[in-house]
């Protein structure tokens, strides 16, 4: 939300404080999660790398919010962005099952690459054949209600 505020209204102290608090929360949570995943799968996930990935993610998103990266925009970025939500919904649960079942039997690098490719393909299918067809229907279904609620809120 802080990044959205920065993108929409420009930089100001309050969203930067929120962003700093979010980063301060994300780092120990990310390290704890990486430790649990490493223990579960018998792998060592180096804490400095985990912290670097988290900080890099925040930095990239901040650069986008500040519109520093606007000149890099390409039309296909919107397609990649559209895949993030279905990918978010399916990646962890399916990925953990795949790793747990196939991990002892398949080369770790191939398993990771194959799982990433399969999750991106599944997210693409979900976006194209579920999300896209349902969005217009949901908008039509919700639009009258949202319009009434907006009008009521404006009145008071």
Which of 48-57, 79-88, 101-110 reaches the highest mean pLDDT? 48-57
Q: Give CA angle at 73 (117, 82), nearest 5°.
A: 45
Per-residue pLDDT averaged across 119-138, rounded?
Answer: 92
**pTM here?**
0.65
pLDDT at residue number 150: 62
pLDDT at residue number 24: 98
Say whether pLDDT at 135 is over 90. no
Contact between 119 and 92 under an 8 Å Cβ cutoff? The reply is no
Contact between 95 and 39 under an 8 Å Cβ cutoff? The reply is no
Give the start-to-end residue ranges of the domains of the chain.
1-73, 74-156
pLDDT at residue number 10: 93
Please write the tens of the pLDDT for every residue from 88-110.
988 888 988 998 899 889 998 99
> How far is residue 135's CA from residue 147's CA, in Å, rounded to a whole number?
17
Of residues 12, 2, 11, 3, the one with CA closest to residue 65: 3
pLDDT at residue number 99: 87
Say whether pLDDT at 119 is over 90. yes
> What are the CA-CA distances from residue 30 to residues 60, 69, 91, 92 (Å)?
17, 26, 17, 14
Per the prediction, the chain carries an average pLDDT of 89
Burial of 90 (0-12, 13-18, 19+ CB in 10 A): middle
Of residues 151, 93, 154, the one with CA closest to residue 122: 93
Of residues 137, 119, 124, the one with CA closest to residue 76: 124
pLDDT at residue number 93: 85
């Amino acid at each position: 939300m802080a990044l959205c505020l920065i993108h929409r209204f420009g930089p100001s102290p309050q969203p930067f404080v929120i962003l700093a608090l979010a980063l301060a929360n994300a780092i120990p949570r990310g390290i704890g999660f990486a430790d649990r995943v490493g223990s579960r799968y018998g792998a060592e996930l180096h804490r400095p790398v985990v912290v670097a990935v988290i900080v890099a993610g925040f930095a990239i998103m901040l650069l986008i919010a500040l519109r520093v990266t606007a000149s890099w925009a390409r039309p296909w970025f919107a397609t990649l962005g559209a895949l993030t939500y279905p990918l978010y919904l399916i990646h962890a649960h399916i990925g953990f099952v795949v790793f747990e079942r196939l991990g002892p039997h398949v080369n770790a690098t191939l398993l990771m690459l194959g799982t990433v490719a399969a999750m991106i393909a599944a997210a693409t299918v979900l976006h194209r054949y579920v999300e896209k067809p349902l969005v217009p229907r949901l908008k039509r279904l919700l639009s009258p209600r949202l319009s009434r609620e907006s009008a009521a809120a404006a009145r008071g």
